[in-house]
Amino acid sequence: MGRVAGPLNLDPDALVREILAELTPEKTLPPALARVPPARWQHGVRLAGLGKAAVEQVEVTRDWFTDRGIPIHGTLAVTKHGYGTGDRSFPVIHAAHPICDETSRAAAAALRRFAEETPGGAAFVLCLSGGGSALAAEPRPPFTFEQKIAAFRQLVDGGASIAETNLIRREMSAFKNGGLRIACGERPVVTLITVDVPHPYRDEPYPGVFGVVASGPTIHEKLDPEAIGSTARKWLDPALAAAVVEQLDDPARERGQQRLADACHPDDEVELVASWMQVESRSYAILARLGLRPIALGQAFDEPLESGLEKHLELLRVNLERGDFDAQISTGEMPSRVLGSGKGGRNSEFVVRMARALFLENRLALDDATLDRITVLSLATDGGDGPTDAAGGWLNRAALRRGLDAGADLERSLANSDTLTFLEACGTAFRTGPTATNLMDLHVVALC
């Protein structure tokens, strides 16, 4: 569709609702299930879910099996506190996220028992989505549970990437990197993965990405000791880094890794449910239907927010000079360092930093007419932007001015990791609630 005549009145809240409606389990799961050979279900299934989207994904998958007369030998879902609420006809375990605690350890034990009780011949089916690393946690000796919690806190607060974070979590876990697969024994395993991590290929994620989602409880990947050591030394305090590095040459570690590798059968099914590509393509289509001319950046950003922001500004400059576009779309996860005790996450911080660069600093030297057309938004597709109850937010020049006139302090919000409070003062925070999906973050810069 070409550009409509006259300015568009973009409603950011309505836009994100429409995008999220296209990414629900009802839309994304059936095609993945249909790709599994029907013979895999001939002796029935035992169905589990782990992650922020677990409850809704299990419901959709269970209904799909029921409609086809496939026996279901038990159902269980593990999700985050406050997610998947309401009456359910199957057990739901709620556990801690983003930092694991004793509820996470109990959830891991429950999932292990559930998998062990899969009837012979039946397939163990796991709906896996982001958040599972914290929701089900079990330390691997010689690590303690306290060390595992401390490591994750240091990785997150320091701004480590999701790949770096999950590398250490897999190394310190008895449940991840194929640990749950051991409990399934000789039974066939089908993992339906909603990928919430960046990957560089547009056609499909490379196999190693599957082991990163929820740290791969049913998927084993040989971990590189050198990468583990360098990551530990980069992000962890000296004592904890030493504890990780010192055990890398322990023969017991090598035996454990081999046991994990042996447990994962070559004929295990792994099906991609959705990833950043669906976020990008659905957002593109919706913006086009609104009469905008979108440009998708075609990559999932996996780098610190500071450098990611600079790339977004440069790409916006190039696209503005080239013309023939009204919206720039990107996805990814750009972690931000925790600098204070305020309310904020990487999405709200992206919006505030972009607004400062565009509207206050005018880094791209744009005229007033262009600046008045720009809206910046950033959305956590799972509905939770870091440790907040918001999903990100949006700003344009008028909304920013409204917040500043009301006394909101932009610089203080950035210095105290309090960017959600700033967006609330502007009246532009997204609050979607849990969305039943988890496909990284969406960033849009629209001119309308």
Q: What is the DSSP string of 105-152?
A: HHHHHHHHHHHHTPPTTPEEEEEE-TTHHHHS--BPTT--HHHHHHHH
Looking at the structure, tell me whether residues 212 and 297 fall in a common domain: no
| Residue listed under structure tokens 């994750």 | 152
- The whole-angstrom distance between residue 45's C-alpha and the CA centroid of its chain comes to 27
**C-alpha distances out from residue 159 to 81, 100, 224, 235, Å:** 24, 18, 21, 9
Looking at the structure, tell me whether residues 294 and 252 fall in a common domain: no
Whether 199 contacts 190, CB under 8 Å: no
User: Hey, is 49 helix, strand or coil?
Assistant: strand
Burial class (CB in 10 A: 0-12, 13-18, 19+), 157: middle
Looking at the structure, tell me whether residues 305 and 384 fall in a common domain: yes
Confidence (pLDDT) at 62: 98
Looking at the structure, tell me whether residues 266 and 299 fall in a common domain: no
User: Hey, is 217 helix, strand or coil?
Assistant: coil
Confidence (pLDDT) at 201: 54
Distance, CA of 80 to CA of 92 (rounded, Å): 10
Which tokens hold the place of 385?
């932007």
Q: Which residues pair with 50 in a beta bridge?
A: 78, 128
Is 104 within the bounds of a domain?
yes
Whether 279 contacts 29, CB under 8 Å: no
Q: Which residues pair with 46 in a beta bridge?
A: 124
Looking at the structure, tell me whether residues 329 and 233 fall in a common domain: no
Last residue in a domain, options 255, 274, 293: 274
Bigger pLDDT: 215 or 338?
A: 215
Looking at the structure, tell me whether residues 255 and 348 fall in a common domain: no
Indicate whether 5 pLDDT > 70: no
Is 29 within the bounds of a domain?
no
Is 30 within the bounds of a domain?
no
Indicate whether 4 pLDDT > 60: no
pLDDT over 90 for what percent of the chain? Answer: 80
Return the H-helix or E-strand segment holding 441.
strand 441-447
Strand ranges (DSSP E) for 293-386? Answer: 294-302, 327-333, 374-380
Whole domain around residue 169: which residue ranges? 35-274
Count of domains forming the chain = 2
Confidence of residue 3 (pLDDT cuts 50, 70, 90): very low
Confidence (pLDDT) at 10: 86
Looking at the structure, tell me whether residues 346 and 247 fall in a common domain: no
Looking at the structure, tell me whether residues 213 and 94 fall in a common domain: yes
Last residue in a domain, options 252, 274, 296: 274
Distance, CA of 447 to CA of 324 (rounded, Å): 11
**Mean per-residue pLDDT for 180-209?**
80
Which tokens hold the place of 67?
């409609």
**Mean per-residue pLDDT for 387-408?**
96
Last residue in a domain, options 274, 296, 329: 274
Is 125 within the bounds of a domain?
yes
**Mean per-residue pLDDT for 96-123?**
95
Is 6 within the bounds of a domain?
no
Is 403 within the bounds of a domain?
yes
Burial class (CB in 10 A: 0-12, 13-18, 19+), 9: exposed
Looking at the structure, tell me whether residues 306 and 170 fall in a common domain: no
Is 148 within the bounds of a domain?
yes
Distance, CA of 326 to CA of 81 (rounded, Å): 39
Question: Of 17-31, 37-51, 191-205, 228-242, where does mean pLDDT reach its minimum?
Answer: 191-205
Is 3 within the bounds of a domain?
no
User: Hey, is 316 helix, strand or coil?
Assistant: helix
**Tens-place pLDDT, residues 220-279:** 989 999 999 999 999 999 999 999 999 999 999 999 999 998 988 888 999 999 999 999
Confidence (pLDDT) at 337: 85
Residue 303 sits in a domain whose CATH number is: 3.40.1480.10
Which of 370-408 are b and which e, b meaning 16 or more Cβ less than 10 Å from the residue's Cβ? eeebbbbbbbbbbbbbbebebbbbbbbbebbebbbeeeb
* Local structure of residue 187 (DSSP, 8 states): S
Amino acid identity for residue 242 in this structure? A
Looking at the structure, tell me whether residues 182 and 54 fall in a common domain: yes
Confidence (pLDDT) at 204: 53
Looking at the structure, tell me whether residues 323 and 419 fall in a common domain: yes
Q: How many CB atoms lie within 10 A of CB 119?
A: 15
Model's pTM, two decimal places? 0.89
Distance, CA of 11 to CA of 364 (rounded, Å): 25
Residue 257 sits in a domain whose CATH number is: 3.40.50.10180
Whether 27 contacts 55, CB under 8 Å: no
Looking at the structure, tell me whether residues 330 and 203 fall in a common domain: no
- Positive or negative: CA dihedral 149, 155, 159, 162: negative
Confidence (pLDDT) at 106: 98
Average pLDDT along the chain: 92
Question: Of 44-48, 121-125, 145-149, 322-326, where does mean pLDDT reach its minimum?
Answer: 322-326
Burial class (CB in 10 A: 0-12, 13-18, 19+), 116: middle
